[in-house]
């Protein structure tokens, strides 16, 4: 009995380590397929619960990230089955195509550190605007209200900042792969 408790504690530590290492990728995956943040959080919570409940079935020598993303995919399908009353409903086939496309993008994990690096190169006011805009539940309209700037002027500023970040990430990716 004591040996079983030790194994569970070790499994729990391993699960937490693997889950935390992949949490951002899971969020990014779910966010591409689920339209709003509160639903994303619900899907992530359900995914985490399923991951833990099935962790004893996980082959510890295999790829946790791929396994977790597959379970998240099934949780997204469940989410949409429960959301049939909404006007916007993707077919299971469309969700599978979107998920497959997302899973085939191997540089997602490589681009995140590059994005962080590029964010550090922004001017203070640019970084502040980006942080305000991408705060959960925020919008460009809300940033306009908070800053007193006109909405169309903010759209132009965000377009310039996004273009600057994209160029920076592409330049850094070229350096990594050359």
CATH of the domain at 150: 1.10.10.10
Same domain, 89 and 138: no
More confident residue, 36 or 126: 126
Residues 46 and 97 in one domain: yes
Dump pLDDT digits (tens) for 90-101.
566 666 666 666
Rounded CA gap, 2 and 12, in Å? Answer: 15
- Residue 112 and residue 98 in one domain: no
Same domain, yes or no, for 68 and 114?
no
> How many domains, the chain?
2
Whether 41 and 113 share a structural domain? no
- Average pLDDT over the chain, rounded to an integer: 82
Q: Are residues 60 and 116 in the same domain?
A: no
Q: Which of 81-85, 107-111, 147-151, 152-156 has the lowest mean pLDDT?
A: 107-111
Do 78 and 131 belong together in one domain? no
Indicate if 86 and 152 belong to the same structural domain.
Answer: no
Q: Tell me the pLDDT tens digit for each residue of 55-74.
A: 989 998 889 999 999 999 99
Residues of the domain holding 128 = 108-177
Q: Is the pLDDT of residue 107 over 80?
A: no
Domain end among 86, 103, 120: 103
Last residue of a domain, one of 71, 103, 135: 103
Same domain, 69 and 27: yes
- Tell me: do 46 and 89 sit in the same domain: yes
d(Cα 174, Cα 107) in Å, to the nearest integer? 12
pLDDT at 6 over 90: no
pLDDT number for residue 148: 95
Do 85 and 16 share a domain, yes or no?
A: yes
**Distance (Å, rounded) from C-alpha 48 to C-alpha 71?**
9
Q: Work out the angle between the directed axes of helices 92-103 and 2-33 (0-180°, nearest 10).
A: 100
Give tens-digit pLDDT for 110-134: 667 888 889 899 999 999 998 998 8
Same domain, 34 and 90: yes
**Can you say whether residue 137 is alpha, beta or left, with left for phi > 0 and alpha for psi between -120 and 50 degrees?**
left
- Which pLDDT does position 169 carry in this prediction? 84
Of 72, 103, 134, which residue is a domain's last? Answer: 103
């Amino acid at each position: 009995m004591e040996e079983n408790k030790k194994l569970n504690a070790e499994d729990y530590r391993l699960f937490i380590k693997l889950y935390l290492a992949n949490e951002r990728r899971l969020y990014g995956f779910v966010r591409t397929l689920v339209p709003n943040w509160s639903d994303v959080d619900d899907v992530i919570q359900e995914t985490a619960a399923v991951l833990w409940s099935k962790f004893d079935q996980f082959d510890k020598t295999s790829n946790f990230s791929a396994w977790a993303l597959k379970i998240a995919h099934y949780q997204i399908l469940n989410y949409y089955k429960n959301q049939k009353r909404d006007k916007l409903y993707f077919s299971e086939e469309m969700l599978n195509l979107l998920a497959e496309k997302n899973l085939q993008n191997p540089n997602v994990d490589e681009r995140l550190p590059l994005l962080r690096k590029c964010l550090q190169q922004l001017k203070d006011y640019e970084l502040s605007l980006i942080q305000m805009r991408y705060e959960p539940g925020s919008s460009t309209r809300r940033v306009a209200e908070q800053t007193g700037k006109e909405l169309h002027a903010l759209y132009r500023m965000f377009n310039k900042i996004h273009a600057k970040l994209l160029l920076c990430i592409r330049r850094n990716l070229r350096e990594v792969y050359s």
